[in-house]
Amino acid sequence: MATESQSGRTGIDIEIDRYKIATYVVYAFGLAFFIFPVLWAISMSLRPRQEVISVPLRLLPSEFTLEVYRDVLTNSDILLWVWNSLKIALLEVAGILLFVTPAAYAFSRFQFKGKRLTLLGILLFQMISPVVIVIPLYNMMVQFGLLNTHLGLIALYIGLQVPFSIWLLKSYFDTIPKELDQSARIDGCNRLQTLWHVLLPSVMPGIAVVSIFNFVFSWAEFVMAFTILNDSKLFTIAMGVYSFQGQYSTDYRAIAAASVIAMIPLLVMFISLQRYFVSGLTEGAVKG
């Protein structure tokens, strides 16, 4: 009996090991799928011009050169485009938090007529692709005089991201026990004081997640920016990278170098806020 029990435990251990191996293999393929384009862009930006034509499929360049980076930085407005994207992303995140935080708090804590229907409507609006409504949005920007302005683009981004952000931040408010609200009210806090002094410190990981998602969205979005902006001095970094594509010929090394430069601020942000992002995802997945 002891032998059979020991053999059974060994079989279970073997199955667990196989499961772990299969899991790591899937993770490795997924990581390679996302990492390979980044490595290819870096490799393309560091190659000599003649190697791009003669050996286009080589991942590791035979010779490294920063020539194309110097050309991109000196012969284009890429630093201005990075600044435009940074300004737009930060203002969009600030606007999102200003509108979404009280809305998510209200949907999480209050019971009112039409609450479920309103939440469903917000969810349905989030499922609509911005490409479908790009023409009506363009007409609205013309009527309000916001065409070819950063303010108009920021307003569009806020409007498009509010539904997703409300649902995401509401889930974090739902994890906070309502007894905290009651304790704060007993201590003399009104609704606003309860939100500011009691709930916001507890929901900060969720705010960090919402901020990161919206920052990345604003940084990488192209369709709305391409529709609203036509002055090259107002371009975002996504439009700036696209502008390196010529009508008759394209310098792929310049596109790769501009893409690598565009990734640097995002990498810095993720490295700086990694622990907040991971803790926010973890806390949002577990109901308190």
Res 182: pLDDT: 84
Q: Are residues 31 and 78 in the same domain?
A: no
Res 150: pLDDT: 95
Closest CA to 45 of 265, 278, 258, 206: 258
Q: With respect to residue 269, please indicate whether it lies within any of the assigned structural domains.
A: yes
> What stretches in the chain show pLDDT beneath 50?
1-8, 284-288
Res 24: pLDDT: 85
Check if the beta carbon of residue 244 is closer than 8 Å to that of residue 255. yes
State which residues form the domain around 19: 2-54
Res 4: pLDDT: 47
Res 9: pLDDT: 53
Please state, as a whole number, how many other Cβ atoms lie within 10 Å of the Cβ of residue 239: 19
Q: With respect to residue 82, please indicate whether it lies within any of the assigned structural domains.
A: yes
Count structural domains, the chain: 2
Res 11: pLDDT: 60
Check if the beta carbon of residue 121 is closer than 8 Å to that of residue 59. no
Q: Are residues 93 and 226 in the same domain?
A: yes
Please state, as a whole number, how many other Cβ atoms lie within 10 Å of the Cβ of residue 138: 16
Angle at 97 between CA 237 and CA 177, to 5 degrees: 140
Check if the beta carbon of residue 54 is closer than 8 Å to that of residue 213. no
**CATH at 99:** 1.10.3720.10
Rounded to two decimals, the pTM is 0.82
Res 147: pLDDT: 92
Res 236: pLDDT: 95
Q: With respect to residue 28, please indicate whether it lies within any of the assigned structural domains.
A: yes
User: Amino acid identity, residue 288?
Assistant: G
Res 16: pLDDT: 67
Res 57: pLDDT: 64
Res 247: pLDDT: 57
